Amino acid sequence: MRPLFVVLVLFAIAAVGCSLRRAAPPPSPYCRSDHPLAGVYHPSRLHVRSKCRVVSGVVDRVKFEDFDGDVHIDLRPDDPKLVSEGNAAVGGDLVVEVIPQDRARVPIPEAGQRVWVVGPWVDDERHGWREIHPAVWISAGTIHPATPSELAAVQKLLSGQASDSD
């Protein structure tokens, strides 16, 4: 009887151990440990779907924004499930944004380049599309640090000293 009891106890321990959820490792060592939208202008418009997502694809277009200093990258993702119907407004691409504070360390790719991108995957509720915002790592490109005036302008926006109408 004792061997049967030992076997049942070991089976119960194994079953409980196998059913426990283990914390998954982050998808990338580049994931931020702080707030995923730190440094983003108007973060309330963004709904975080995943704090850290790794995405691959081909760059269709790159645009440096004067208003907030972000770099907008239109990425044709390898996984079409990463975009929503709203992304049709940008040719079906996933919008990737590099914020000015990160431009000294996150390279900006060129149109036609195949890249891997890491950052929060979000719904932009103002525009109705999905984005990686802010991109915290991009596998290829050139560093284009924000100018002191761009950094000063984004600080004014973030602190509420400037507005959309300025």
Is there a contact between 130 and 88 (Cβ–Cβ < 8 Å)?
no
pLDDT for residue 24:
44
Is there a contact between 87 and 81 (Cβ–Cβ < 8 Å)?
no
- pLDDT digit string, tens, across residues 103-117: 999 999 999 999 999
Rounded to whole angstroms, the Cα distance separating 133 from 124 reads 9
* The amino acid at 99: I
pLDDT band at 46 (very low <50, low <70, confident <90, very high): very high
Percent of all residues in the chain with a pLDDT value above 90, rounded to a whole number: 61
Rounded to whole angstroms, the Cα distance separating 162 from 20 reads 49
- Residue 82 neighbours by CB distance under 10 Å: 21
Domain boundaries, the chain: 43-154
Least confident of 9-13, 44-48, 144-148: 9-13
Output Rg (C-alpha) for the chain, integer angstroms.
21
Q: What is the topology classification, in CATH, of domain 43-154?
A: OB fold (Dihydrolipoamide Acetyltransferase, E2P) (2.40.50)
Residue 5 pLDDT > 60? no
pLDDT for residue 63:
97
Strands 46-64 and 94-98, bridge-based pairing: unpaired
Rounded to whole angstroms, the Cα distance separating 22 from 8 reads 24
Residue 130 pLDDT > 50? yes
